[in-house]
């Protein structure tokens, strides 16, 4: 599949898949948004024609260049460099050929470390001290009557019975942490992590995401949602409606749109539903419209709803309230709203919370969920600074 890769600019390394028509410019609504003061709001566009891809300058202030030459319209070839303002892209019409791996010299053999044998006398002394220790615990239990000492003795006699404190044995258990904007880290009872819509560095002013994830979902290909490649490790990336399933999670994608104009303004969006540890969570991405009955039916019963509320690029507070009432989750967590880390012309969460009841302002950006409330609640996670 053809793609553009930023080789110079504030979003260095960002990658954009090309399907149909893609507008490049400073407007966040564009398929390829760049934070570049020398770029026009709608600077140029790339279109797919039967004989290949073409780039057209949209009467921009500073022009569009291909291989350092100003153009009006030009057919692109694999490897071309496109310059828009201070941002440069490399056009790739097919996947690059992978270089053969260079064989490394075998690591030098490590020297075996020998240990001195413990003399028999020391062994006898250690056994004697151990017996005295257990005898002391038993004596304490006898005179205090506290059963806790019996438990301590059993624990020391049977160390194999100790459990791993990093694993929660409850079936209904998960943690959800807001990383900023539309990015969340969802952690299951065994420590497996899913990150939703990670932002690319520089697209918003939240801290860089340094968490390692097992799975990453991307609702659409805008820079403030498609930063999977900037995360550490090699997570499984899901950016299509096909979904995913393994032995600990099931993920379903539901098609939706980023606007109310059939996708003409901002393109497509994917709603993801996660089934994990007895909970069903829905992340609406940058949903731009109310849900149809068919879409709501595909979502099914949702326990926890992650919903954009800021408006302008997504549904606003009024529509978010209506979507919440369509889905009827037990817990609603607002996202994609104005904070000190966001310069977009969107509304703060207070607009959505106006006239709402059963609102919980949590003290931490991370919440542990073991049980669902009896009635619907709104949980507001403070954004991490």
- pLDDT tens digit sequence for 165-205: 333 435 678 999 999 999 999 999 999 999 999 999 989 98
Residue 17 CB: number of other CB atoms within 10 A? 13
Smallest CA-to-CA distance from 211 within 243, 239, 260, 175 is with 175
Residue 343 and residue 379: Cα distance in Å, rounded? 24
Give pLDDT tens digits for 205-263. Answer: 899 999 999 999 999 999 999 999 999 999 999 999 988 999 899 999 999 999 999 99
Supply the mean pLDDT for the chain: 84
Name the token pair of 25. 């410019």
Q: How many residues does the chain have?
A: 385
Residue 150: predicted pLDDT = 43
H runs (alpha helix) in 78-234 = 120-144, 148-157
Per-residue pLDDT of 133-166, as tens digits, reads 666 655 554 544 444 334 433 433 333 333 233 3
**pLDDT of residue 358 exceeding 90:** yes
In eight-state DSSP terms, residue 129 is H
pLDDT exceeds cutoff 50 at 89: yes
The arithmetic mean of pLDDT across residues 344-358, rounded, is 93
Q: 296: which 2 tokens?
A: 């709501």
Is residue 373 pLDDT above 50, yes or no? yes
CA dihedral 205, 207, 211, 215 (to 10 degrees): -10
From CA 160, how far away is CA 252, in angstroms rounded?
40
Phi, psi of 130 (to 5 degrees): -60, -45
pLDDT for 94 equals 73
**Secondary structure class of 328 (helix, strand, coil):** coil
CA distance 384 to 207: 8
**Which distant-in-sequence residues (6+ apart) come within 8 Å of 79 by Cβ?**
90, 91, 92
Q: What are the CA-CA distances from residue 153 to residues 77, 138, 232, 311, 339 (Å)?
A: 74, 8, 43, 61, 54
Low-confidence winner among 95-99, 298-302, 344-348 (lowest mean pLDDT): 95-99
Check residue 165 and give its pLDDT. 32
**Contact (Cβ atoms closer than 8 angstroms) between residue 102 and residue 108:** no
Please state, in angstroms and rounded to a whole number, the distance separating the CA atoms of residues 382 and 385: 9
Q: What is the rounded CA–CA span in Å between residue 327 and residue 162?
A: 42
Closest CA to 282 of 332, 248, 352: 332
Give the separation between CA 187 and CA 171, rounded to whole angstroms: 13
C-alpha distances in Å from residue 51, one per residue of 81, 82, 132, 169, 333: 19, 19, 87, 58, 46
pLDDT digits (tens, 9 = 90+) for 67-78: 999 988 888 999
Alpha-carbon span 122 to 361, nearest angstrom: 59
In terms of Cα–Cα distance, which of 163, 158, 203, 156 is closest to 180?
Answer: 203
Residue 290's pLDDT is 96
d(CA 247, CA 260): 37
In what helix (H) or strand (E) does residue 4 lie, and over which residues does it extend? strand 3-8
């Amino acid at each position: 599949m053809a793609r553009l890769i930023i080789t110079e600019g504030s979003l260095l390394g960002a990658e954009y898949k090309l399907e149909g028509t893609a507008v490049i410019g400073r407007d966040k609504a564009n398929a390829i948004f760049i934070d570049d003061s020398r770029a026009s709001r709608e600077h140029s566009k790339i279109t797919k024609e039967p004989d290949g891809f073409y780039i057209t300058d949209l009467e921009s202030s500073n022009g569009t260049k291909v291989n350092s030459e100003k153009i009006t319209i030009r057919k692109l070839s694999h490897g071309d460099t496109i310059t828009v303002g201070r941002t440069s892209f490399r056009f790739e019409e097919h996947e690059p050929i992978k270089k053969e791996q260079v064989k490394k010299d075998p690591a030098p053999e490590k020297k075996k470390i020998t240990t001195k044998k413990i003399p028999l006398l020391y062994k006898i002394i250690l056994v004697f001290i151990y017996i005295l220790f257990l005898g002391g615990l038993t004596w304490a239990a006898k005179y205090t009557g506290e059963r806790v000492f019996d438990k301590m003795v059993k624990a020391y006699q049977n160390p194999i019975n100790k459990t791993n404190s990093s694993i929660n044995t409850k079936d209904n258990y998960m943690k959800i942490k807001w990383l900023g904007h539309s990015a969340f880290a969802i952690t299951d009872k065994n420590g497996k992590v899913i990150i939703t819509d990670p932002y690319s560095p520089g697209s918003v002013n939240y801290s860089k995401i340094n968490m390692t994830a097992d799975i990453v979902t991307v609702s659409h290909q805008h820079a403030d949602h498609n930063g999977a490649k900037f995360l550490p490790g090699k997570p499984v990336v899901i950016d299509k409606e096909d979904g995913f399933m393994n032995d600990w999670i099931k993920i379903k994608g539901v098609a939706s749109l980023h606007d109310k104009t059939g996708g003409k303004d901002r393109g497509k969006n994917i709603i993801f539903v996660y089934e994990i540890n007895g909970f069903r969570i829905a992340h609406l991405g940058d949903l731009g419209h109310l849900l149809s009955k068919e879409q709501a039916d595909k979502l099914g019963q949702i326990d926890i709803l992650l919903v954009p509320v800021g408006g302008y690029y997504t549904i606003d507070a009024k529509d978010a309230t209506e979507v919440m009432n369509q889905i009827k989750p037990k817990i609603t967590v607002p996202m994609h709203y104005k904070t000190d880390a966001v310069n977009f012309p969107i509304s703060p969460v207070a607009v959505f919370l106006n006239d709402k009841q059963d609102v919980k302002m949590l003290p931490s950006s991370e919440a542990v969920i073991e049980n669902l409330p009896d009635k619907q609640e709104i949980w507001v996670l403070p954004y991490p600074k």
